[in-house]
Structure 1
Amino acid sequence: MRRLFLPLFFGIVGTAILLKLGFWQVDRLAWKEAELARIDAKIVDAPVAVPTAPTEEGDEYLPVVTTGRTETPELHVLASSKQTGAIYRIVTAFETAEGRRLLLDRGWVKPEAKNAERSPVTATIVGNLLWPNERNKYTPENDVSGNTWFARDIADMSAILNTEPILIVQRDKIDVAPEITPMPVTSTGIPNDHLQYAVTWFGLALVWIGMTLYYLRRMRTREKV
């Protein structure tokens, strides 16, 4: 019996650890689903005026409305769409009626329309504040001189366009710029892999239990022989 104690001990401890990790992921799944529901509700809430000094912690996804005029030049951000493939986001400066200069993500155009001439537009814009997190170690450096950006780097864009470091992502299409299709903020890009992780940990727990029982059975068989 003493020979069986050690493998039985590791079997129980290993199973307990794996199950604990699985249940932790279940808790994280419930938290993430609640967080996504909160973000979805916030995105479509009634728009308000752009705050004087918004912060990422307090105002990410905040719906805003402002009236003003787009300006040139444009910044072109390479992106992709499942339906279209390669596209370019159009980011411009937007001067509000109150005299503020903000960044505006107007939406996307196909590659062949990237360099088309677009006149400034006066309009009321409804959109959401966003602090994009699109850069990782694999993201190329922006080709500023060639006007091809690989991430919406707010600090760099605002410096080039002489705006506040505040980005509004336009929600609705405006008739005066029909060639640009808005690409509004959604929660679909926020990862939620906790169910997959939970299934993995629970699966490993079952394997661990099976291996432990198999090993104990072999040891018992050898003792009988």
Structure 2
Amino acid sequence: MRKSVVIPLIFGIAGVAVLLGLGKWQLDRLAWKEGILADIEARISAAPVALPDDADPEADRYLPVRVTGGMSARTLRVLVSRKQVGAGYRLISALDTGTRRVLLDRGFIKVGEDIPAPAGAVTVTGNLHWPDDRLSSTPENDVPGNMWFARDIAQMAEVLGTEPLMIIARELSPPEQGVTPLPVDTRGIPNDHLNYAITWFSLAAIWAAMTGAFIWRGRRAAKGAGQ
């Protein structure tokens, strides 16, 4: 086999092997991520328990809880947008159980609506969460104007006089009319490993095809020169 064929063939095989390896790695990552998502879904949908005395942001993230208490009249508004609905606010109130006072993410209302917190006791079924809404481009919260751009738990707890602990409502009893709960789920957790795997496998196929075309042209040119 001529040197003009061997070298491109070696580079071609090496390139295809690397790209296939990257694709296989992404498939392994896909299986790993699906396992994590399945575990989170199981934790979210588990039977609710009482509010833990000392909740841990890692061990108790997504923990289902059921709490009864009264809501504060003061409500914080966090600007959000929902697909096919538009702009609106998450309503954050304090929930007072009589012995503890925690943050409650009641759910979503559209811009222009004004729904006060219900009077009287409510039973909240939801999940503990420590949301990470803030990006480098997120504006600072306008506390005096009650325009929040991120659910900064520590800052909200200071404003509403609660523990730095948030429950994301899944269900309220009695139901709160006009407010749509936005319960925690796994839709916001990225899982693009299958797309990445397809990309690497596609590049491997393209690399192989280009290598074959290069070798074929080189051999054809060599034959033409030898005639």
Q: State whether TM-score is above 0.5.
A: yes
Q: How does 1:60-209 map to 2 (within 5 A)?
A: 60-97=61-98, 99-114=99-114, 116-175=115-174, 177-209=176-208
Distance 2:157 2:11 in 1: 57
Cα offset, 1:139, TM superposition: 2.0
Over the residues paired in the alignment, what is the CA RMSD in angstroms? 1.6
Distance 1:185 1:121 in 2: 25
Q: How does 1:23-42 map to 2 (within 5 A)?
A: 23-42=24-43
Cα offset, 1:92, TM superposition: 1.0
Which stretch of structure 1 is more off in the superposition, 103-112 or 79-88?
A: 79-88
Distance 1:6 1:121 in 2: 80
SS at match of 2:107: strand
SS at match of 1:56: coil
Distance 1:10 1:121 in 2: 73
Encode CA deviations 1:144-169: one digit per residue, 9 max, x unaligned: 22111111111211121121111100
Structure 2 unaligned blocks of 5 or more: none
> Percent identity over the alignment?
50
Cα offset, 1:120, TM superposition: 4.1
4+ residue segments displaced more than 4 Å: none
- Contact 1:88-1:111 within 8 A present in 2 as well: yes
- Contact 2:125-2:169 within 8 A present in 1 as well: yes
- Contact 1:25-1:194 within 8 A present in 2 as well: yes
Which stretch of structure 1 is more off in the superposition, 132-141 or 203-212?
A: 132-141
Distance 2:204 2:213 in 1: 14
Which stretch of structure 1 is more off in the superposition, 212-221 or 177-186?
A: 177-186
Structure 1 unaligned blocks of 5 or more: none
Letter of the aligned partner of 2:46 in structure 1?
A: D
Encode CA deviations 1:91-143: one digit per residue, 9 max, x unaligned: 0111123x2111100111121224x4445441121110111122222322222
Number of equivalenced pairs: 223
- Contact 2:123-2:172 within 8 A present in 1 as well: no
